[in-house]
Chain A
Amino acid sequence: DGGITQSPKYLFRKEGQNVTLSCEQNLNHDAMYWYRQDPGQGLRLIYYSQIVNDFQKGDIAEGYSVSREKKESFPLTVTSAQKNPTAFYLCASSRSGLAGELTTHNEQFFGPGTRLTVL
């Protein structure tokens, strides 16, 4: 079955540590996204990638980094610079439009999420 997988489901981080959240999709989608979800705030965009080897900052990129070396994979690193990392992290993907340009017609498909807790 096609879909998006995220691992691990639960992740615990000590102060000062970097941690990496995995996101893999087999939907053959060009575009991938990372969101952060906090209670009562909906979803906020951290980073997005339109195509392999390219990515852009979203609304709350500080303290996070990403890479996009393969079409299927878009890992997110939460660095020690992120002062309040405890949250639920969601990865998503979507088709892109012609010539790599994204369109808002395209539904975003979401993974099951990773809950990160700072100890």
Chain B
Amino acid sequence: AQSVTQPDIHITVSEGASLELRCNYSYGATPYLFWYVQSPGQGLQLLLKYFSGDTLVQGIKGFEAEFKRSQSSFNLRKPSVHWSDAAEYFCAVGLSGGYNKLIFGAGTRLAVHP
């Protein structure tokens, strides 16, 4: 069955430090991969997406993610974290064929220390 795993439930980093959030997926076909961010009590905003082509994808707010087929991973990175990046981050895989279904990971909550 298709699934998305985000191994880290909570991560705390210092402002200005680098960040990497992990995402692993299980899907037999070519995946369509997304990262969303959610501020407390708010909806989700798309950070970036991967469909094909270059495996390093640039997104909004200085985020990037790298698709590694051999590792079934799509990790999110940012070289220097800002306090405003504190939020919950969700990785999702889109299933090809049929309707536009997304499978979400459980999320990683990011805290940023000043």
Contact = CB atoms under 8 A, between A and B. Distances in A.
Interface string A38-77: 0011111100101000001010000000000000000000
Contact of A43 (B9, B98, B99, B104): B104
A17 to B, nearest CB: 23
A92 B101 CA distance: 12
Contacts of B49: 107
B48 to A, nearest CB: 10
B99 A50 contact: yes
A113 B44 CA distance: 9
A105 interface: yes
B100 A31 contact: yes
B43 A112 contact: yes
B104 A102 contact: no
B42 A56 contact: no
Nearest to A107: B46
B99 A113 contact: no
Interface in B1-48: 4, 9, 32, 34, 36, 41-46
Interface residues of B, number: 26
A42 B90 contact: yes
A108 B90 CA distance: 13
Given A41-B106, A42-B90, A43-B90, A104 B44 contact: no
Nearest to A105: B51
A42 B105 contact: yes
Nearest to A115: B41
Interface of B: 4, 9, 32, 34, 36, 41-46, 49, 51, 90, 94-96, 98-102, 104-107
21 contacts: A6-B43, A31-B99, A40-B9, A42-B90, A42-B104, A43-B104, A48-B100, A58-B101, A90-B44, A102-B98, A104-B96, A104-B102, A106-B100, A108-B46, A108-B100, A108-B102, A110-B43, A110-B45, A112-B41, A112-B43, A115-B41
Given A42-B90, A109-B46, 13 more contacts: A31-B100, A40-B9, A41-B106, A42-B106, A43-B44, A43-B102, A45-B102, A48-B100, A102-B100, A105-B32, A107-B34, A108-B46, A113-B41
